[in-house]
Amino acid sequence: MNDDSRQDMIIFAVIVSFVVHAATMFFIRPQVMTQVAGTSGTAPRREIVRIREAEPAPDAIAMEAVRDIEALRDSPTAEAEGVLPGAAELSEPEREAIPAAPSVPENAGVELAGIEVAPFMSEKIHIDNVAKSNFSTPIAEATPPMAGGAAPEFSAADAFGSGEIPLFTAPAVVYSPAPRLERESVKIAQIAGVTEPKRDFQASAEVMPTVDEKIVEAEKAAVRDLLDVPDAKELSKYVSVTAQSASEESDGGGWLYFRVRISPLDELKIVPKDVVVLLDASGSIGNDRLRSCRAAAHDILRSATNTGDRFNLVAFRDRFQYAFKSWQEINQASLDKADKWLWSLAAHGRTDVFRVIRSVLALPRDPTRPLIALVVTDGDANSGVSETAQILSRFTALNDGLVSVYMYGVKESANRELIDVLTHGNRGESFIYGGSRWKAGTKIESLSERFRDPVLSDLRVVFAAGSQAEAYPARLKNLYRGETVDIIGRLPKGKTQVAFSIKGLNGEKSYEAFFKVDLASVAFDPTLPANWRLERGIDEKLR
Does the pLDDT value for residue 535 go beyond 80?
A: yes
Residues 6+ apart with CB under 8 A from 94: none
Flag whether the pTM goes above 0.75.
Answer: no
pLDDT at 452: 96
**Furthest C-alpha separation in the chain:** 141
pLDDT at 199: 59
| Chain-centre distance for alpha carbon 386 | 29
CATH of domain 274-452: 3.40.50.410
Per cent of the chain over pLDDT 70 is: 64
Does the pLDDT value for residue 245 go beyond 90?
A: yes
Per cent of the chain over pLDDT 90 is: 44
Residues 6+ apart with CB under 8 A from 270: 306, 453, 454, 455, 481
pLDDT at 262: 96
End-to-end distance of the chain based on CA atoms, in angstroms?
38
Q: Which 8-state DSSP code applies to residue 359?
A: G
CA 275, CA 372: separation in Å to the nearest integer? 5
Nearest to 467 by CA among 394, 518, 522: 518
pLDDT at 148: 41
Cα-trace Rg, the chain? 35
Phi, psi of 489, deg, nearest 5: -150, -175
pLDDT at 99: 56
CA 344, CA 14: separation in Å to the nearest integer? 32
CA 446, CA 348: separation in Å to the nearest integer? 27
pLDDT average, residue stretch 166-184: 33
CA 281, CA 324: separation in Å to the nearest integer? 17
Confidence of residue 176 (pLDDT cuts 50, 70, 90): very low
CA 448, CA 468: separation in Å to the nearest integer? 36
Phi, psi of 188, deg, nearest 5: -65, -35
Phi, psi of 408, deg, nearest 5: -125, 115
Does the pLDDT value for residue 493 go beyond 50?
A: yes
Specify whether the CB–CB gap between 511 and 504 falls below 8 A: yes
Specify whether the CB–CB gap between 486 and 241 falls below 8 A: no
Q: Which 8-state DSSP code applies to residue 25?
A: H
Query: Exposed e or buried b for every residue in 467-483, given b needs 16+ CB within 10 A?
Result: bebebbbebbbbbbbeb
Does the pLDDT value for residue 191 go beyond 90?
A: no
Residue of 94 and 539 predicted with greater confidence: 539
pLDDT average, residue stretch 35-55: 48
Window from 17-26, 253-262, 401-410 with minimum mean pLDDT:
17-26
Q: Cis link prior to 76 (omega < 30° from 0)?
A: no
Residues 6+ apart with CB under 8 A from 192: 113, 115
CA 124, CA 10: separation in Å to the nearest integer? 105
pLDDT average, residue stretch 278-292: 88
Confidence of residue 25 (pLDDT cuts 50, 70, 90): low
Does the pLDDT value for residue 193 go beyond 70?
A: no
**Over the chain, what is the mean pLDDT?**
74
Bridge partners, residue 241, by sequence: 262
Q: List, for residues 419-437, the tens digit of each pLDDT value.
A: 899 999 999 999 999 889 8
Nearest to 401 by CA among 465, 338, 348, 478: 478
Phi, psi of 521, deg, nearest 5: -120, 20
Q: How many helices (H) and strands (E) does the chain have?
A: 11, 23
Structurally, what CATH architecture does the domain formed by 224-268+455-541 represent? Answer: Sandwich (2.60)
Q: List, for residues 440-479, the tens digit of each pLDDT value.
A: 999 999 999 999 999 999 999 999 988 889 999 999 999 9
pLDDT at 35: 40
Confidence of residue 92 (pLDDT cuts 50, 70, 90): low
pLDDT at 154: 38
pLDDT at 94: 56
Highest mean pLDDT among 268-282, 311-325, 374-388: 268-282
Domain ranges within the chain, ordered by starting residue: 224-268+455-541, 274-452
pLDDT at 96: 59
Residue of 47 and 519 predicted with greater confidence: 519
